[in-house]
Each structure stands twice: as structure tokens, then as C-alpha cells.
């Protein structure tokens, strides 16, 4: 068998170069008369089975598209943040307040992911930012391809900020890279302190954790210390901001965090 050109491999392709010669360390000779046929040693009444080794990452197609989205963002110096959470943590209210506050200084866009309705995109448009709504139907997450399609319709300017509000779900969106610069997980104080332990993948892949609805802390049994301890067990790089999108408490920390991010 010849490893240089693949000739002689039983199931590979063949390239014939008339000037390419082999020196075989074998006494075997073969006449160049190919008028004869070879008899088969077995019957062909059953199909041959063959194992093909692949080792293909099942998410590879998504990851390739996410990589292309990321290059697009980097090229235009767009800061892309993927906002994830369980349903009802207040993501859309956080974004509305963020748009109100940052709109004098930065151009912002939002890609909204929900199973159904245009409710969130309408809220964002009213707040003053162009928004595209992706309805996933029976799907439980956004993927890189959906973001790629949405980007073609958004016409994002350079140096802008793009928020992707993912489908409210702490399980599925964790696996799908969208090409974002950073992932922000929003949780509210009405949720349990054990969330990071119950949904480790999402906490493990996030960069910042926004603890929202801090105005409700006096009314609920939620210990921020306990929550942070659990989250840091899963991801010791995770940063935290405690705030209330409703009262505005702590929101400055969030605005400062956004403006300190540089995607270039």
C-alpha cells in the first residue's frame, strides 16, 4: 500500500501518475495482462458491512455558525450579550430599562427569542431599540443559525450593542453557542438559592449573574450569600450584580459593566 497517493487502498480513491513508480520488496510479480477476471471467493447474497470512524461533534454545525457570527461581531466591534434565564426573571424589563438609560450613548439592538408571540419585541421597540422576534415554535432554545438569519434583517451598525434575549429556559440554551461575547444569566430573588446546583450547565457557561428583583428581598426567604456560594461552586469565575430593574437599585453597576466590555 502506498501512503503517498492512496493507490492500493481498498476503499480509498485512486490517483494514477504514469511517472510514479513503486519498488516493492516482494518476489510477487503480476503480469500486465488484464484480460482475465478474478473469481469471487464468496456469494454476494448479503450486503457487506463496514464501520466508518467519524468522531464528529454533533454540535459542530452550530459551533461553526456561531464562530462566523462571532467574527462578524468582532469585525464591526459589536458587543453581543446572550441573556439567559428561567421564564419570569425579568429579562425584558432589564432590557427596557437598559435601553432607556444607554440610548443617548450607544446604538442598541435586540433579538428576542420566545416560543410564541411578538409581545417582547413590541416592548423593546417601544423602549426605542430595533428588535427582531424569533419564534421557536416547539423549540426550546435559540441556535446560531437563527441568529445568523436575524442579523441579516437587523443591519447592525458598528460599535453598537446587541442583546440576545434567549428563550426562558435554564436547560437547553446552555448548549448552544450563538457567537456572543459574553453570556449573562438573570435570576430573580423569588427563585431558590439552589438553582446553580440544579441547573449547573447554564451557570457554568455564563460570565455574569444578574440577581434581579432585589426590591423583593424583604419579602422572600432568599439568601444572596447562599446563592452566590452555590453558584461559585459551579463556576468560580462568575461575576455578580444585585439589582432591581423595577426600582433602579443597583442598575448603575449593570450599566457600568456593559460599558466596560470591549469586543475588539
Q: Which residues of this chain interact with another protein, rule CB under 8 A?
A: 47-59, 61-62, 138-141, 143, 171-172, 174-176, 201
Q: DSSP of 92-118, one letter per residue? A: HHHHHHHHHHHTTT--EEEEEEESS-S
Query: Measured from the CB of residue 139, what is the shortest distance to another protein in angstroms?
Result: 7
The residue among 14 and 56 lying less far from another protein, judged by its C-beta, is 56
Query: Measured from the CB of residue 66, what is the shortest distance to another protein in angstroms?
Result: 14
The residue among 201 and 261 lying less far from another protein, judged by its C-beta, is 201
The residue among 14 and 51 lying less far from another protein, judged by its C-beta, is 51
248 vs 245: CA distance, rounded Å: 5
Among 246, 240, 244, 252, residue whose Cα is nearest residue 214: 244
Q: What is the CA radius of gyration of the chain?
A: 28
217 vs 136: CA distance, rounded Å: 33
Report CA 159 to chain centroid distance, whole Å: 21
**Bridge-partner residues for 134, per DSSP?**
113
88 neighbors 98 (Cβ within 8 angstroms):
no
The residue among 60 and 260 lying less far from another protein, judged by its C-beta, is 60
What is the three-class DSSP state of 74?
A: helix
**Bridge-partner residues for 110, per DSSP?**
131, 163
The residue among 124 and 142 lying less far from another protein, judged by its C-beta, is 142
The residue among 58 and 158 lying less far from another protein, judged by its C-beta, is 58
Q: Which run of H or E residues covers position 164? A: strand 161-165
Amino acid at each position: 500500500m502506498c501512503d503517498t497517493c492512496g493507490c492500493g487502498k481498498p476503499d480509498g480513491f485512486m490517483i494514477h501518475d504514469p511517472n510514479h513508480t513503486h519498488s516493492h520488496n516482494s518476489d510477487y510479480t503480476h503480469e500486465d495482462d488484464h484480460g482475465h477476471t478474478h473469481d469471487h471467493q464468496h456469494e454476494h447474497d448479503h450486503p457487506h458491512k463496514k464501520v466508518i470512524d467519524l468522531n464528529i461533534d454533533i454540535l459542530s454545525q452550530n459551533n461553526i455558525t456561531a464562530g462566523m457570527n462571532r467574527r462578524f461581531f468582532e469585525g464591526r466591534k459589536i458587543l453581543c450579550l446572550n441573556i439567559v434565564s428561567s421564564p419570569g426573571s425579568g429579562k425584558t424589563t432589564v432590557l427596557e430599562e437598559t435601553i432607556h438609560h444607554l440610548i443617548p450613548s450607544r446604538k442598541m439592538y435586540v433579538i428576542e427569542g420566545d416560543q410564541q408571540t411578538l409581545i417582547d419585541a413590541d416592548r423593546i421597540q417601544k423602549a426605542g431599540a430595533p428588535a427582531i422576534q424569533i419564534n421557536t415554535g416547539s423549540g426550546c432554545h435559540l441556535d446560531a443559525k437563527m441568529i445568523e438569519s436575524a442579523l441579516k434583517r437587523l443591519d447592525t451598525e458598528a460599535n453598537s450593542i446587541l442583546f440576545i434575549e434567549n428563550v426562558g429556559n435554564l436547560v437547553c440554551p446552555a448548549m448552544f453557542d450563538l457567537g456572543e461575547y459574553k453570556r449573562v444569566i438573570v435570576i430573580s430573588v423569588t427563585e431558590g438559592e439552589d438553582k446553580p446546583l440544579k441547573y449547573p450547565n447554564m451557570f457554568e457557561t455564563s460570565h455574569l449573574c444578574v440577581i434581579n428583583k432585589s426590591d423583593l428581598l424583604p419579602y422572600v426567604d432568599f439568601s444572596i450569600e447562599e446563592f452566590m456560594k452555590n453558584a461559585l461552586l459551579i463556576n468560580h469565575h462568575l461575576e455578580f450584580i444585585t439589582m432591581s430593574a423595577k426600582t433602579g437599585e443597583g442598575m448603575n453597576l449593570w450599566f457600568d459593566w456593559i460599558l466596560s466590555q470591549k469586543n475588539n
